[in-house]
Amino acid sequence: MGRVHRFVGTADSFDWEDVPEKVVTGPGVAGVSGKILVGPLDGAPNFRIRYFRIEPGGHSALERHGHDHGVYILHGHGRVRMGEEEVEVSPGDAVYIPGWELHQFSALGNEPLGFLCVIPAK
Active site residues: 117
Classify residue 101 by burial, with Cβ atoms within 10 Å: 0-12, 13-18, 19+. middle
User: 33-72 as b/e, with b when 16 or more CB fall inside 10 Å?
Assistant: bbbbbbbeebebeeebbbbbbbeeebbbbeeeeeeebebb
